[in-house]
């Protein structure tokens, strides 16, 4: 953290003042410590000397010995001891761990008792006494501090007084600078309300007034800039078109929420596909290289959803007020829904045109086929006794092919002729159960497992009953064909709502071979099939029947994973039947 100017003034001055005082205090304390240590030892030696003088001048009797011991006790001297032979006859040493033997060993070996004590002693040979004093070094600092306590108090008061004086002086200098710094922080944080008030007539006062003028100018221009920025942000946030801007090197510098939303939808898939970002950046770099506006429609296959995403992408150079190129602006829009609607319209138009042609051709072909079959049968009957086995098989094969063509013509007529639905209230679960019963044979042959997810056991729709059954049969049949032995078909029925439109969603999901990406858009076209024996009209009829009944059909598929057909069926909005139940 940076020091304020006040601290930068106070701390050096305080340092210059305190260091000499501390050094002087330490020197004084050390000198007093040495003096007290010296005087303490001198005093101990004097006391021992006086005691020996007394012993030498008195008569040597047992009563005299007792008198001397009592005399020493009355002196009440700390750390004083008398040892006779090898035991204490008097001991005032506080440390009970020090016994007579330790002291005698120290005297005999002429070494130190410990680092803590200084031993002073005298020997009185007449009675074999060792009289001594132990000086405790740890008590000397306390004595020194006690003696110099008044000096230390005066030094402390002087330091505090000097510090207060330094603070008052520096406060007068630093306070205006602090006011200017606070004004600067207000500007940085966007607060332009507080005025800088420095009541001085010197240079700092003039600087405060200039600072106020500068702050007012910045506030006015900042408000203008914020208004313009908010207006631009509102535009970018509100439009549904994705916007990305880059610098002259192609590095992204800004983007709006719509761009983030569309890109995140792509990159959050299970496969982490970032193909959309690559395409956008590639087109941006093309614009930087060619310096031309580029408009393209790109498509991306979503592996997770199994459908195709279409983007209308436009990139153009971005210029500043001087006309210089400063980057690229890229706008892109998701036109997938529009593309699907266009495809549906195109498919309906093609189916309508094809239906008219097919109806005419079917009628023209069916009559000759009937004549050909009848003539073949007559010839076979007339020549039966002349025909060998090979010839008979040829006649039978010819008749079977005519029957197959006739069935194809019948399917064509079913596809081409108007299917006017007879709308009625139908129970989707009931129709589905009947369709599964009719398909039971082909399901059993492949040992297919059918799982039904029933979120609502009673779903009423407004639909042609027969046509709904035909739709279910065709989709179930296609699913079974697509699966190998012991496959799984999952059927779910649920009520959904899109904005104000309610419908019943029926989903058929198999784990079959799936459909190639390039083939998905063709599966509802007439005569398109991947099976050798198929006519390619089943799903075309399903699409036509769904459209006629105001429903919708969508398909999602992944190769070697499976296919999912979604049927959106108009819901019946009559009386409420949701609490009822149906027994199958």
pLDDT of residue 575: 47
**Least confident interval from 94-103, 165-174, 496-505:** 165-174
User: Which CATH number covers residue 508?
Assistant: 3.30.565.10
Taking phi first (over 0 means left), then psi (-120 to 50 degrees means alpha), and beta for anything else, what does residue 271 get? Answer: alpha
pLDDT of residue 582: 33
Same domain, 456 and 555: yes
Instruction: Of 491, 492, 494, 505, give the one whose Cα is nearest residue 450.
Output: 491
Judge whether 508 and 489 are in contact, CB under 8 Å.
yes
First to last CA, the chain: 80
What are the pLDDT digits (tens) for 257-311? 888 877 776 555 544 445 778 888 888 899 988 888 999 888 776 655 556 778 8
Same domain, 168 and 139: no
**346 pLDDT exceeds 70?**
no
In a domain? residue 190 = yes
In a domain? residue 202 = yes
What are the pLDDT digits (tens) for 35-46? 777 777 787 788
**18 pLDDT exceeds 80?**
no
Q: Is 317 helix (H, G, I), strand (E, B) or coil?
A: strand
What are the pLDDT digits (tens) for 508-549? 999 988 888 777 877 877 666 766 555 666 788 888 888 888
> In the predicted model, what is the mean pLDDT of residues 499-505?
79
> 321 is in which domain, residue-wise?
239-334
pLDDT of residue 146: 67
pLDDT of residue 352: 60
> In the predicted model, what is the mean pLDDT of residues 163-189?
74
In the listed set 314, 334, 354, which residue is the last one of a domain according to the structure? Answer: 334
pLDDT of residue 438: 86
Same domain, 121 and 32: yes
**1 pLDDT exceeds 60?**
no
392 or 206, greater pLDDT: 392
Same domain, 432 and 488: yes
Same domain, 223 and 252: no
Q: What is the DSSP string of 167-233?
A: HHHHHHHHHHHHHHHHHHHHHHHT---PPP----SSHHHHHHHHHHHHHHHHHHHHHHHHHHHHHHH
Judge whether 18 and 166 are in contact, CB under 8 Å.
no
pLDDT of residue 344: 67
In a domain? residue 579 = no
User: Which CATH number covers residue 364?
Assistant: 1.10.287
Same domain, 55 and 134: yes
The band of 371, judged by pLDDT with boundaries at 50, 70 and 90, is confident
pLDDT of residue 361: 64
**Least confident interval from 97-101, 196-200, 356-360, 511-515:** 356-360
Same domain, 11 and 66: yes
pLDDT of residue 4: 61
Q: What is the DSSP string of 436-493?
A: HHHTHHHHHHTT-EEEEEES-S--EEEEEHHHHHHHHHHHHHHHHHHS-TT-EEEEEE
**580 pLDDT exceeds 50?**
no
Tell me the range of 6-10, 276-280, 453-457, 464-468 where mean pLDDT is highest.
464-468
In a domain? residue 444 = yes
Give me Rg for the CA atoms of the chain. Answer: 55
> In the predicted model, what is the mean pLDDT of residues 467-480?
89
In a domain? residue 431 = yes
Q: Which residue has the tokens 């009592």?
A: 70
Judge whether 363 and 417 are in contact, CB under 8 Å.
no
pLDDT of residue 314: 92
Same domain, 141 and 27: yes
Q: Which residues pair with 344 in a beta bridge?
A: none
Sign of the C-alpha dihedral computed for residues 458, 461, 463 and 467 taken in this order? negative
In the listed set 233, 265, 290, which residue is the last one of a domain according to the structure? Answer: 233
**Tokens in use for 499?**
């904005």
Helix (H) or strand (E) holding 246: strand 242-246
In a domain? residue 575 = no
Same domain, 443 and 562: yes
pLDDT of residue 187: 74
What are the pLDDT digits (tens) for 213-248? 787 888 778 888 888 888 877 777 777 788 888 998
Q: Which residue has the tokens 């761990």?
A: 97
Judge whether 204 and 172 are in contact, CB under 8 Å.
no
In the listed set 147, 182, 216, which residue is the last one of a domain according to the structure? Answer: 147
Judge whether 305 and 517 are in contact, CB under 8 Å.
no
430 or 161, greater pLDDT: 430
In a domain? residue 578 = no
**What is the share, in percent, of the chain residues with pLDDT greater than 70?**
79
**147 pLDDT exceeds 90?**
no
Instruction: Tell me which long-range contacts 169-178 makes (C-beta under 8 A, separation of at least 24).
Output: 169/9, 170/6, 170/9, 170/10, 170/13, 171/6, 173/5, 173/6, 173/9, 174/4, 174/5, 174/6, 174/9, 176/200, 176/204, 176/205, 176/208, 177/5, 177/204, 178/4, 178/5, 178/6
Same domain, 350 and 322: no
**What is the share, in percent, of the chain residues with pLDDT greater than 90?**
6
> Which residues in 288-304 are b (16+ Cβ under 10 Å) and which e?
beeeeeeeeebebebee
What are the pLDDT digits (tens) for 529-540? 766 555 666 788
pTM for this predicted structure: 0.39
**8 pLDDT exceeds 60?**
yes
Q: Is 501 helix (H, G, I), strand (E, B) or coil?
A: strand
Provide the 10 A C-beta neighbour count for residue 365.
15
The band of 581, judged by pLDDT with boundaries at 50, 70 and 90, is very low
Judge whether 82 and 69 are in contact, CB under 8 Å.
yes
Domain count along the chain: 5
The band of 584, judged by pLDDT with boundaries at 50, 70 and 90, is very low
198 or 377, greater pLDDT: 377
């Amino acid at each position: 953290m940076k020091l304020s100017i006040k601290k930068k003034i106070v701390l050096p001055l305080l340092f210059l003042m305190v260091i000499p005082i501390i050094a002087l205090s330490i020197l004084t304390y050390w000198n007093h410590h040495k003096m007290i240590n010296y005087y303490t030892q001198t005093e101990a030696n004097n006391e021992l000397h006086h005691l020996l003088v007394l012993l030498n001048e008195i008569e040597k009797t047992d009563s005299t010995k007792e008198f001397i011991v009592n005399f020493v006790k009355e002196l009440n001297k700390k750390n004083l001891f008398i040892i006779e032979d090898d035991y204490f006859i008097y001991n005032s040493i506080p440390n009970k761990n020090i016994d007579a033997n330790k002291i005698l060993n120290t005297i005999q070996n002429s070494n130190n008792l410990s680092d803590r004590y200084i031993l002073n002693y005298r020997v009185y040979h007449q009675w074999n006494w060792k009289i001594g004093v132990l000086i405790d070094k740890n008590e000397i600092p306390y004595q020194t501090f006690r003696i110099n306590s008044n000096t230390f108090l005066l030094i402390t008061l002087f330091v505090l007084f000097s510090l207060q004086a330094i603070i008052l002086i520096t406060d007068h200098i630093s306070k205006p600078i602090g006011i200017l710094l606070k004004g600067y922080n207000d500007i940085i944080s966007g607060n332009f309300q507080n005025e800088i008030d420095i009541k001085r007539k010197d240079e700092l006062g003039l600087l405060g007034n200039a600072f106020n003028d500068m702050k007012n100018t910045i506030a006015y221009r900042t408000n203008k800039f914020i208004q313009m920025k908010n207006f631009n942000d509102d535009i970018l946030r509100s439009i549904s078109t994705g916007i990305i801007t880059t610098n002259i090197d192609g590095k992204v510098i800004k983007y709006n929420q719509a761009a983030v939303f569309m890109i995140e939808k792509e990159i959050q898939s299970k496969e982490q596909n970032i193909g959309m970002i690559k395409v956008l950046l590639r087109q941006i770099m093309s614009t930087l290289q060619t310096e031309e506006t580029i408009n393209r429609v790109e498509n991306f296959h979503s592996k997770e959803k199994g459908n195709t995403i279409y983007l209308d992408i436009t990139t153009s150079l971005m210029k500043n007020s001087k006309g210089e190129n400063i980057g690229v602006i890229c706008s892109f829009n998701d036109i997938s829904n529009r593309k699907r609607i266009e495809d549906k319209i195109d498919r309906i138009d093609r189916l309508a045109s094809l239906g008219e042609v097919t109806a005419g051709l079917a009628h023209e072909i069916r009559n000759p086929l009937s004549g050909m079959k009848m003539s073949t049968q007559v010839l076979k009957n007339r020549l039966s006794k002349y025909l060998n086995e090979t010839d008979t098989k040829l006649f039978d094969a010819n008749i079977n092919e005519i029957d197959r063509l006739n069935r194809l013509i019948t399917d064509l007529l079913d596809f081409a002729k108007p299917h006017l639905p007879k709308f009625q209230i139908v129970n989707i679960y009931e129709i589905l159960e009947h369709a599964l019963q009719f398909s039971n044979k082909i399901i059993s042959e492949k040992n297919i497992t059918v799982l039904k997810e029933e979120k609502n056991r009673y779903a009423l729709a407004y639909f042609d009953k027969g046509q709904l059954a035909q739709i279910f049969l065709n989709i179930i049949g296609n699913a079974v064909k697509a699966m190998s032995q012991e496959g799984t078909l999952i059927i779910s029925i649920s009520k959904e709502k899109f904005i104000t439109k309610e419908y019943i969603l029926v989903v058929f999901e198999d784990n079959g071979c799936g459909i190639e990406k390039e083939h998905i858009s063709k599966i509802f076209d007439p005569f398109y099939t991947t099976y050798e024996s198929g006519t390619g009209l089943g799903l075309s009829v399903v699409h036509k029947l769904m459209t006629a009944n105001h429903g919708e059909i969508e398909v999602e598929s992944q190769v070697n994973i499976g296919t999912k057909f979604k049927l959106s069926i108009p819901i019946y909005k009559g009386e409420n039947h949701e609490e009822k139940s149906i027994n199958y």
